[in-house]
Structure 1
Amino acid sequence: MEMDMSFLNISMSPPPTKKRCLLLEQHPFGLPEPILYYLKKNSNPKLLLKLMQISKYFCFKDFPYMVVKDLKYENTKWFYCEPYYEVLDLSNLKKPLWITKGINCYTEDVSLVSSLLSKVIVCDITKLGLDDQIITLNEFKLLISSGNVKTFSFFHSHVEYENGEIVPIDEIMKLIPNVTEFRW
């Protein structure tokens, strides 16, 4: 007497449905939609850029940041290079700034860079030049956060701790180990 054993080959996973197949095609990472949405909305800008490079799911119709190469302050105005220098009106800025090359600020308004940093989301600069500026240690760390600063000029300026005490130059040098040109 032979017994029919075909029922033992039954798969315990549900059969693929059309909806399920589309979900896998749309999201090659195999992550659920809410997780991908959370990543898109809450990733820091550098991670978001990497995600955009690997999947069009993370791309935006309009890039959420204003990318500028050089930013400089002259004659009471900020200018940015795109590809020629144009005036940058910080009060009417629609997107946070992503600075990729350098910042030069020569003015007697000691808090000017501090007001600029409230508009900056990423600072990937290789050149930093400040004249007559007083900035906090946290602001300085934001300016050099990329670790790419090679040219550093600081005239009549200083960095302060939160209590107002001036940060010694040797501590500042430890924060910018890749500098090849230093002027103080």
Structure 2
Amino acid sequence: MAKIQTAKISAVILQITSTITIPKWPPKSDFPNDILKYMKKNATEKQALKLMKTNKYFIREKCPFIYFGDYVVLTQNFVNQTFFLSDEMNYRIDELPNNLGICGTFFIEEGNHLSQFISKCVICDLKCLCFTISWKSIKKISYDDFKVLTSSGRLEKLDLGPTIVTSNNGEIIPYEYLLDHTPELRSLCLNYNEDLELSQKFIEKICASNLKAFTVFQLPKNFKREAFLANLAKKKPQLRVHLIS
């Protein structure tokens, strides 16, 4: 059975947290001290992370999550964890603990187990999110899962490929709504989908964003490229646009 490298991870955490002085008493607040102490003691991992961001008093001596690496790949059978190029390990999702923290790059090669893996994560601080789902696999994820993956608000590269995002009712979420969760996005790639219009509202969101590069693959022959490019160029002339059939 595969095992998490807890000794190695704990050493990294210790090195980071050992320089932090944690206050012994709760901060001044409208809440009684007993309530703040209770919050610190009984908070779940996700709640603890939110509290730690508000005040150093809530920092735990033991980190509430296990750092799982900055290059993670979800495949059909395993989750691949990489710390260094020469240090890779594979795990079955059901073997993983329920307090993982992932950052950096996350590649999703198979989507059927995405929700299960996300349920194991208490923090997602991603800079790059890529969906490389094959034609044999599902090509959609839930809106709830997408919001968790982009929850840090620091995502810089998003490659959706053929993937669509759907609500609990199965409705397709328009691209412009996805951009609401990616304020730091610099690069966006997607495959053209006849069920998802590249609407004027989507174009306006792109023009108002921090996007530097935008790529669309598998465009139909009748797609009005010139008009689309002209529309973008009016408000965002420095945007690098690649339209690929």
Same fold (TM over 0.5): yes
Query: Which residue, out of 102, 106, 109, partners 1:106?
Result: 109
TM-score if structure 1 supplies the norm length?
A: 0.71
Q: Structure 1 runs of 4+ off > 6 angstroms?
A: none
Ranges in structure 2 where 5+ consecutive residues have no aligned partner = 1-22, 134-138, 191-245
Q: Which moved more, 1:73-82 or 1:98-107?
A: 73-82
Give 1:31-180 correspondences, 5 Å limit.
32-33=33-34, 35-42=36-43, 44-50=47-53, 54-55=56-57, 58-60=59-61, 62-68=62-68, 69-74=70-75, 76-83=77-84, 84-107=87-110, 110-132=111-133, 133-180=139-186
CA contact 1:124–1:144 (8 Å) conserved in 2:
yes
Question: Are residues 169 and 28 of structure 1, via their aligned partners in 2, closer, same or farther at CA, if it must alter by over 3 Å?
Answer: closer
Structure 1 letter corresponding to 2:153: G
Structure 2 letter corresponding to 1:121: V
Structure 1 letter corresponding to 2:142: T
CA contact 2:26–2:36 (8 Å) conserved in 1:
no
Inter-partner Cα distance in structure 1 for 2:63 and 2:98: 9
In the TM superposition, residue 157 of structure 1 has moved relative to its aligned partner by: 1.1
Aligned-partner SS, 1:40 = helix
Inter-partner Cα distance in structure 2 for 1:179 and 1:58: 30
The CA deviation string for residues 78-104 of structure 1, in whole angstroms up to 9 with x for no partner, is 111234322133212234111121210
In the TM superposition, residue 148 of structure 1 has moved relative to its aligned partner by: 0.4
- Aligned residue number for residue 215 of structure 2: none
- Aligned residue number for residue 189 of structure 2: 183
The CA deviation string for residues 63-84 of structure 1, in whole angstroms up to 9 with x for no partner, is 3311122211246321112343
In the TM superposition, residue 120 of structure 1 has moved relative to its aligned partner by: 1.3
Structure 2 letter corresponding to 1:27: W
Ranges in structure 1 where 5+ consecutive residues have no aligned partner = 1-24
Question: Are residues 59 and 170 of structure 1, via their aligned partners in 2, closer, same or farther at CA, if it must alter by over 3 Å?
Answer: closer
CA contact 2:131–2:163 (8 Å) conserved in 1:
yes
In the alignment of these two chains, the number of paired residues is 155
CA contact 1:66–1:95 (8 Å) conserved in 2:
no
Structure 2 letter corresponding to 1:152: L
Looking at CA atoms only, which structure, 1 or 2, has the larger radius of gyration? 1
Inter-partner Cα distance in structure 2 for 1:127 and 1:75: 20
Question: Are residues 34 and 158 of structure 1, via their aligned partners in 2, closer, same or farther at CA, if it must alter by over 3 Å?
Answer: same
CA contact 1:73–1:106 (8 Å) conserved in 2:
yes
CA contact 2:77–2:92 (8 Å) conserved in 1:
no
Inter-partner Cα distance in structure 1 for 2:48 and 2:129: 21
TM-score if structure 2 supplies the norm length?
A: 0.55
- Relative contact order, higher structure (CA 8 A, sep 6+): 1
In the TM superposition, residue 149 of structure 1 has moved relative to its aligned partner by: 0.5
Aligned-partner SS, 1:139 = helix
- Aligned residue number for residue 25 of structure 2: 27
